[in-house]
Amino acid sequence: MFLQRYPSRLKQLLPKLRIPVVQGPFGGGASTVELVAACSNSGALGSYGAHYVAPGDIAPLVAQLRAAVGPDAPFAVNLWCHIAHDDRANLGALNSGGPEYLEKHAARVAEHYKKYGAVPPGFPDGGIVGHRFDEQVKALLEANPPVISFVMGVPPPAVIEEARRRGIVTFGCATTVAEALALEHAGIDAIVASGVEAGGHRGTFLKTDPNTPVPDETTFTLVPRVRAAVSKKIPVIAAGGVSTPEAALAALTLGADGVQIGTAFVVSDESGAAPVHKAAILDRTDPARRSCLTRAFTGRSARGIPNQFAKDLYEAEVNGELPGYPVQNYLTVPLRKKAGRAGDKDGLLLWCGQAGTLVQRGKAAEILKRFEDGVDEAAKGIAKFAN
Ligand SMILES: Cc1cc2nc3c(=O)[nH]c(=O)nc-3n(C[C@H](O)[C@H](O)[C@H](O)COP(=O)(O)O)c2cc1C
């Protein structure tokens, strides 16, 4: 009841949302139509990560989501914005270095290709890796989903304007207060404040002073600081480390209008994550297990469970030798696919948040119900000390 009654600005923005919970989008294999539908139809906001979806496949995807979710609940589709400056520079390095550049970096993982029977990819056609954001977002706006969530940048003003004209709600992801202000300035409807605890890629897009460490603010400070910095009208959604009802209640207490939950849904029955990935998150043999930020798999900093591949590339990573995103991603996709199929957790990215040792398996609707009931229990537990 607590989550239903919570006076969230998110529910004002999305009147059909029953509880202020967002199932975090997953770019790559973990997103499925079934997972989005299970979450949206249980009263939360299901999200589909469409970063790897070709522009031409976006309309059919949204049609499938619409059919599975129905008219009485909202759902979101997520895109990575135009790749950040650094990433563009990485593509520039690939193009100016040509096949030799690619081969040099492929040589670093030659043993891994061999281990998994994978073939290093050839130089990409036209030097282009991945899909073009402008084409993806055009297709997505035309497909008219209830919500579009963006990560890795600020969507162009024309995109936000067109979304507003069509009645599409927009979310943007910030890992610092400065990024939240940039998103607010651009006219975004709601801000996901993503702490360093979050599983998957860091969404950082604003360059920091090169002599200071990369942003590492936790959800615990980022949420209240973003809340204090942006207009009172904008909903702030806490992401990162919300794997238990107690954490959800804590995030709301810190001023969040809702929570975005990722890792707890990666292990749901409906998620498309590889079985070996789910098993690694759910493995309880090491209570001291930790997660780490690594660039080994994609060239972009992301949080996952450390494994052999991340360890093997650690030295190259700290020495700044790895190519950045999307080049390293392009180089490791073939071996990650083979490792996933072989069920070998040492060659696969195992994205997982810092609180990943606390999640439990189950159907997405059961996981949500555990959150709803658990928040009630946690709130009652605290309330008994009030008088
Ligand atoms: C496997 C995986 C893939 C993810 N892919 C995306 C993505 O494509 N876009 C995005 O905005 N967030 C992505 N995220 C972040 C989640 O949506 C969510 O914000 C995050 O997992 C919340 O932190 P938690 O894992 O501690 O719950 C991903 C997270 C994981 C675990």
pLDDT in tens, 168-219: 999 999 999 999 999 999 999 999 999 999 999 999 999 877 777 788 999 9
Name the residue of 22, 23, 26 to mutate for ligand 1: max ligand atoms within 8 A of Cβ. 26
Residue 163 has pLDDT above 80, yes or no: yes
For ligand 1, atom 30, name the residue with the nearest CA. 200
Q: What percent of the chain has pLDDT over 70?
A: 99
Pocket lining: 24 vs ligand 1, CB cutoff 6 Å: yes
Q: Are strands 147-151 and 292-294 parallel, antiparallel or unpaired?
A: unpaired
For ligand 1, atom 11, name the residue with the nearest CA. 151
pLDDT in tens, 39-82: 999 999 999 999 999 999 999 999 999 999 989 999 999 999 97
Looking at residues 353-365, what average pLDDT do you find?
A: 98
Architecture of the structural domain at 2-383? Alpha-Beta Barrel (3.20)
pLDDT in tens, 241-274: 999 999 999 999 999 999 999 999 999 999 999 9
99 CA → ligand 1 middle, Å: 32
Q: Which of 287, 177, 167, 275 is nearest to 226 (CA)?
A: 177
H-helix or E-strand spanning residue 49 = strand 46-49
Pocket lining: 148 vs ligand 1, CB cutoff 6 Å: no
> Left if phi > 0, otherwise alpha if psi is -120 to 50, otherwise beta: which for 320?
left
10 Å CB burial of residue 315 (0-12, 13-18, 19+) is exposed
Q: What percent of the chain has pLDDT over 90?
A: 92
96 CA → ligand 1 middle, Å: 32
* Distances, alpha carbon 258 to alpha carbons 79, 228, 240, 252, in Å: 20, 16, 12, 7
14 CA → ligand 1 middle, Å: 21
372 confidence band (pLDDT: 50, 70, 90): very high
Name the residue of 79, 173, 222, 263 to mutate for ligand 1: max ligand atoms within 8 A of Cβ. 263
385 compared with 278, residue with greater pLDDT: 278
For ligand 1, atom 29, name the residue with the nearest CA. 200
Report the chain's mean pLDDT, rounded to a whole number. Answer: 95
